[in-house]
Amino acid sequence: MKEHRIDGIVITHPERVVYPDDDITKQDIADYYAAVMDWFLAGVSQRPTSVLRYPEGIGEKGFFQKHPIRGLQHTEHVRLREESGELDDYICPRSAASIIELVQFGAIEFHPWAARADSLDEADYLVFDLDPAPGLGWSEVVEAARLVKSRLAELALQSFVRTTGGKGLHVVVPLHSSCGWDVAKRFAQGFAHRLEEAQPHAFVAHASRSEREGKIFIDYLRNSRGATSVASYSLRARTGATVAMPLRWTELGKCQGAQDFTIRTARRRLAGLRSSPWEGFDTLRQSLHEALPAVDT
């Protein structure tokens, strides 16, 4: 059999169908990540990262994995103290070879912490995860994201948007001065509660499912130590092989939904981009310390 090798990693069972409805193979997944690697790697490199693995394809059992897999040779581990107080090793990709190796081990989705391995007690971005209740349309999710953006802007915070590859959107706020998790969490919670107070018919900020009907759930709990969100450019293990795609705010109105960006279409978009849709994300100097009092309770 011909050997399939990417970034020095041998892909075994390259012909295995991982997305049965879409006829997408393990080789297709490795090729996708290899093609978008520079864009993708920037969001996961040197961060503790959980992977969602489906070794037998998405029609079979899948599982999140945060601890290192025996046999990994190109993926660093970071030893960290968990909330329980225990020390444990976490998967921490560092290179293209790490990513392809994890794909070889069945990883499809990548979910990093909002903190770097060398600074685990500080968030370097916030994620507001907007989850629409069943029955809400895409246009309502878009409207919700724009409202979150403008309320953040009132607090002098610039934000960025991405499709998740699923039903909602993520609004992401880069932070580039040290922000402990206590401040990140307090701000995110206060902001979500203020939003619910201002727009009680549109938003719900607490978890009880029964109260979410017809509303957008603004999940602020992504902003605590150890929580993860899907990485930009990660594939999703969902029918259609969608990709979590960063957009310019000006592109959001043209987007019809998560299905606009898939393993088959994302590469073409990236090849045509002259600059990152999240231009400025890495260099913005934003802090929550001035904004916190406005939302804190």
Q: Is residue 276 within 8 Å of 246, Cβ to Cβ? A: yes
List the single partner that 167 binds among ligand ATP, Mn ion, none, CB under 5 to 8 Å by kind: ligand ATP
List the single partner that 64 binds among Mn ion, ligand ATP, none, CB under 5 to 8 Å by kind: ligand ATP
List the single partner that 228 binds among ligand ATP, Mn ion, none, CB under 5 to 8 Å by kind: ligand ATP
Lookup: tokens for 45 = 């490199």
Block residue for tokens 């699923």 = 166
As a dihedral over the C-alpha atoms of residue 91, residue 97, residue 102, residue 106, rounded to 10 degrees, the angle is 180
Residues numbered 240 to 279 that lie near ligand ATP (CB under 6 A) are none
What track of x and - describes contact with ligand ATP for positions 129 through 168 (by CB under 6 A)? Answer: x-x--------------------------------x-xxx
Q: How many residues does the chain have?
A: 297
List the single partner that 65 binds among Mn ion, ligand ATP, none, CB under 5 to 8 Å by kind: none
Q: Is residue 30 within 8 Å of 120, Cβ to Cβ? A: no
Q: Is residue 114 within 8 Å of 229, Cβ to Cβ? A: yes
DSSP string, 130-164: EEEPTT--HHHHHHHHHHHHHHHHHTT---EEEE-
Q: Which is nearer to ligand ATP, 31 or 219 (CB)?
A: 219
Return the range that interacts with ligand ATP (CB under 6 A); candidates 9-17, 150-158, 223-231, 261-269.
223-231
Block residue for tokens 């092989």 = 241
* Sole binder of ligand ATP in the list 49, 228, 242, 262 (CB under 6 A): 228
Beta bridge partners of residue 242, listed in sequence order? 262
Return the range that interacts with Mn ion (CB under 5 A); candidates 48-56, 110-118, 168-176, 205-213.
168-176
Query: Least CB distance from residue 287 to Mn ion, whole Å?
Result: 26
Query: Least CB distance from residue 43 to ligand ATP, whole Å?
Result: 12
Q: Is residue 11 within 8 Å of 26, Cβ to Cβ? A: yes
Q: Residue count at the site for ligand ATP (CB under 6 A)?
A: 12
Tell me: does residue 101 bind Mn ion (CB under 5 A).
Answer: no
Return the range that interacts with Mn ion (CB under 5 A); candidates 44-52, 121-129, 227-235, 277-285.
121-129
Query: Least CB distance from residue 127 to Mn ion, whole Å?
Result: 9
Residues numbered 57 to 76 that lie near ligand ATP (CB under 6 A) are 64
Tell me: does residue 131 bind Mn ion (CB under 5 A).
Answer: yes
DSSP string, 5-74: EETTEE-SSTT-EEETTTTEEHHHHHHHHHHTHHHHHHHHTTS-EEEEE-TT-TTS--EEE-SPPTT-SS
Lookup: tokens for 15 = 């012909």
Residues that bind Mn ion (CB under 5 A): 129, 131, 168
Residues that bind ligand ATP (CB under 6 A): 50, 64, 111, 129, 131, 164, 166-168, 228-230
